[in-house]
Amino acid sequence: MSKGKILFQLTGSIACFKACQVLSLLVQSGYEVEIAASKAALAFVGEATLEGLTGRPVHSEVFAKSEYMNHIHLARWADVVVLCPATANSINKLAAGIGDDLISTLFLAHDFQKPYFIAPAMNDKMLMHPATQTSLRTLAAWGIRILPTESGALACGEIGSGRLLDPARIFNEIQTVCERRSACASKLPLRVLVTAGGTREPIDGVRAITNFSTGRTGSGIAERLAAEGHQVTLLRSKDAVRPTKNREGLRERTFITFSDLEMALQEELSRHEYDAVYHAAAVSDFSIASISGQGAERKGKIESKGDVVLTLRPNPKLVDSLRGFSLNPRIKVIAFKLTNTALPDERREAVHRLAVQARPDYIVHNDLSEIKEGDAPGTAHRAHIFATRNPDELREIAVAENKELLADTLERILRGDDYASQS
Ligand SMILES: Cc1cc2nc3c(=O)[nH]c(=O)nc-3n(C[C@H](O)[C@H](O)[C@H](O)COP(=O)(O)O)c2cc1C
């Protein structure tokens, strides 16, 4: 039985011969492999070699007789897509959205739901060229896995970075992702807890300390995960934005105060075996310890005649306790961090502090300056997603420009496409 379907694409680099070793390892390990090669790639390695390795014909034309829809069919057919070796030209074309040959057109038909690996190979000047660097960053932000290059002697006679990663390592990267995906698929649907909205600490019967969280991010994530067939519990504040559609598999539970949320989290995580928790709720840093002043003893509504003194007591950080509450010791914890600083170092430091203290698997970070006023679904709301299993090696794995793209990225993470092996 096939271990997975791989669309393996080659572009015109001298490293094509090394890509053949990756191909050979994949075929020998039981993967089904279809090959697409650029015209330049076929100048480096013959169709006979590629067909001999896979036992299948090589695709290289958009307008090939009887294969006119290959750019859609192959993109749909594959579980995983690989571009190896990836030339500077192909990387720049993909990032620019050009579709003037089979490989670039296939990328335009890529749905971003399946892993797409790029293994660059080129002269170090080509690699460091601002166009190539910008394109690599763009592609990484779209969730494409950019494999590292190696340093050493290059085909052009120079020494530098830009050598194709060792074929065995490329094979391992692909194999790890395929195995993770099939382990995850065999266990679908996954059980997920999502928190959303802000806590509210009542001062009296009509007033409260709260925050501006709308709960839209958490609700959107919950709705998206449920739409993908996962079993989702949305733990939202009573006045948070609700999911727009009633989805099968989406259960809601509400909270008002910090204590309600703490209790609900504890109950949910300790009674049910959740696979992941997305903690997007804005939890009050303080609860009200005491209220003093004239009329403060009146429970319904404190009179507004004189000074009233509120004493606030700091709340513990719930995100630190999620793993401890959880019946499943391997639960994936996704924490959220909002900062308010224009300085990149301060933002990173805040993410690092949270990573050290709460040990989440991922942190979704936004800064207030990157959230537009009146932010509504579909409007820009940039989020940076960090893999934080090792807090000393924070890795920004994706940038989502709006809430829909954030929900997409978080769904991929849940399915095991976490790019964590990327370096
Ligand atoms: C001998 C030779 C070696 C080359 N090696 C590389 C390479 O390693 N990486 C690269 O980006 N381009 C390399 N090129 C240039 C590409 O082949 C060229 O940009 C081509 O147009 C790429 O087309 P493609 O991206 O459609 O395959 C090389 C060209 C020659 C003639």
- Answer yes or no: is the C-beta of 122 below 6 A from any ligand 1 atom: yes
CA-nearest residue for atom 13, ligand 1, is: 13
Query: Domain total for the chain?
Result: 2
> Are residues 174 and 138 located together in one domain of the fold?
yes
Average pLDDT over every residue of 194-205: 93
Among 128, 158, 185, residue at a domain's last position: 185
**Position with higher pLDDT, 417 vs 169:** 169
Could you give the C-alpha distances from 22 to 18, 32, 125, 172, 395, in angstroms and in order?
7, 13, 25, 9, 26
> Are residues 200 and 94 located together in one domain of the fold?
no
Please state whether the peptide bond connecting residue 189 to the residue before it is cis, i.e. omega within 30 degrees of 0. yes
- 13: CA distance to ligand 1 center in Å? 5
Question: Does position 378 have pLDDT exceeding 50, yes or no?
Answer: no
Report pLDDT for 23: 97
Please, which pLDDT band fits residue 67 given cuts at 50, 70 and 90? low
Lowest mean pLDDT among 40-49, 79-88, 367-376: 367-376
Judged by phi (left if over 0) then psi (alpha if -120 to 50, else beta), residue 210 lies in: beta
Instruction: Determine, yes or no, domain membership for 217.
Output: yes
Question: Residue 327 is part of which domain span?
Answer: 191-284+317-414
Instruction: Determine, yes or no, domain membership for 143.
Output: yes
Cβ-count burial of 45 within 10 angstroms (0-12 exposed, 13-18 middle, 19+ buried)? Answer: buried
- Answer yes or no: is the C-beta of 40 below 6 A from any ligand 1 atom: yes
Among 161, 185, 209, residue at a domain's last position: 185
Instruction: Determine, yes or no, domain membership for 311.
Output: no
Question: Does position 421 have pLDDT exceeding 60, yes or no?
Answer: no
- In terms of pTM, does the model score above 0.85? no
**Residue of 20, 156, 178, 184 marked active site:** 156
Could you give the C-alpha distances from 96 to 37, 111, 124, 239, 320, in angstroms and in order?
20, 16, 21, 42, 41
Question: Does position 419 have pLDDT exceeding 80, yes or no?
Answer: no
Instruction: Determine, yes or no, domain membership for 302.
Output: no
> Are residues 386 and 340 located together in one domain of the fold?
yes
CA-nearest residue for atom 19, ligand 1, is: 89
> Are residues 152 and 210 located together in one domain of the fold?
no
- 116: CA distance to ligand 1 center in Å? 21
Please, which pLDDT band fits residue 1 given cuts at 50, 70 and 90? low
Structure letter (DSSP) for residue 282: B
> Are residues 121 and 65 located together in one domain of the fold?
yes
> Are residues 30 and 158 located together in one domain of the fold?
yes
Report pLDDT for 423: 34
> Are residues 28 and 169 located together in one domain of the fold?
yes
> Are residues 172 and 43 located together in one domain of the fold?
yes
156 is catalytic: yes
Give the residues across from 266 on adjacent strands: none
Q: What is the pLDDT of residues 100-142, one digit of tens each?
A: 999 999 999 998 878 899 999 999 999 999 999 999 999 988 8
Where residue 335 sits, what CATH number does that domain have?
3.40.50.10300
Give the atom of ligand 1 at the shortest distance from the alpha carbon of 164.
8
Instruction: Determine, yes or no, domain membership for 88.
Output: yes
Q: What is the pLDDT of residues 344-360, one digit of tens each?
A: 899 999 999 999 999 99
- Answer yes or no: is the C-beta of 102 below 6 A from any ligand 1 atom: no
Please, which pLDDT band fits residue 380 given cuts at 50, 70 and 90? low
Question: Does position 337 have pLDDT exceeding 70, yes or no?
Answer: yes
- Answer yes or no: is the C-beta of 13 below 6 A from any ligand 1 atom: yes
Question: Does position 199 have pLDDT exceeding 90, yes or no?
Answer: yes
- Answer yes or no: is the C-beta of 104 below 6 A from any ligand 1 atom: no
- 18: CA distance to ligand 1 center in Å? 15
User: Which residue from 217, 216, 219 is spatially nearest to 233, judged by alpha carbons?
Assistant: 219
Report pLDDT for 243: 86
- Answer yes or no: is the C-beta of 213 below 6 A from any ligand 1 atom: no
338 Cβ contact partners less than 8 Å away, ≥ 6 residues apart = 282, 365, 366, 367, 368
- Answer yes or no: is the C-beta of 88 below 6 A from any ligand 1 atom: yes
Among 185, 205, 237, residue at a domain's last position: 185
Question: Does position 20 have pLDDT exceeding 60, yes or no?
Answer: yes
Instruction: Determine, yes or no, domain membership for 119.
Output: yes
Which of 87, 94, 156, 163 has the most ligand 1 atoms within 8 A of CB, as the residue to mutate? 87
Report pLDDT for 209: 92
> Are residues 236 and 167 located together in one domain of the fold?
no
- Spatial separation of the C-alpha atoms in residues 83 and 160, rounded to whole Å: 22
> Are residues 97 and 221 located together in one domain of the fold?
no
2 Cβ contact partners less than 8 Å away, ≥ 6 residues apart = 30, 31, 32
Average pLDDT over every residue of 381-394: 87
> Are residues 96 and 208 located together in one domain of the fold?
no
Please state whether the peptide bond connecting residue 85 to the residue before it is cis, i.e. omega within 30 degrees of 0. yes
- Answer yes or no: is the C-beta of 162 below 6 A from any ligand 1 atom: no
Report pLDDT for 113: 78
Report pLDDT for 417: 65
- Answer yes or no: is the C-beta of 126 below 6 A from any ligand 1 atom: yes
- 77: CA distance to ligand 1 center in Å? 28
Q: What is the pLDDT of residues 172-194, one digit of tens each?
A: 999 988 887 777 666 678 899 99
> Are residues 331 and 239 located together in one domain of the fold?
yes
- Spatial separation of the C-alpha atoms in residues 37 and 33, rounded to whole Å: 13
Share of the chain above pLDDT 90, in %: 63
Average pLDDT over every residue of 263-291: 94
**Position with higher pLDDT, 3 vs 92:** 92
CA-nearest residue for atom 25, ligand 1, is: 90
DSSP string, 10-40: E-S-TTHHHHHHHHHHHHHTT-EEEEEE-TT
Question: Does position 385 have pLDDT exceeding 80, yes or no?
Answer: yes
Share of the chain above pLDDT 70, in %: 91
CA-nearest residue for atom 5, ligand 1, is: 13
Instruction: Determine, yes or no, domain membership for 37.
Output: yes
Where residue 116 sits, what CATH number does that domain have?
3.40.50.1950
Instruction: Determine, yes or no, domain membership for 294.
Output: no
- 40: CA distance to ligand 1 center in Å? 7
Please, which pLDDT band fits residue 393 given cuts at 50, 70 and 90? confident
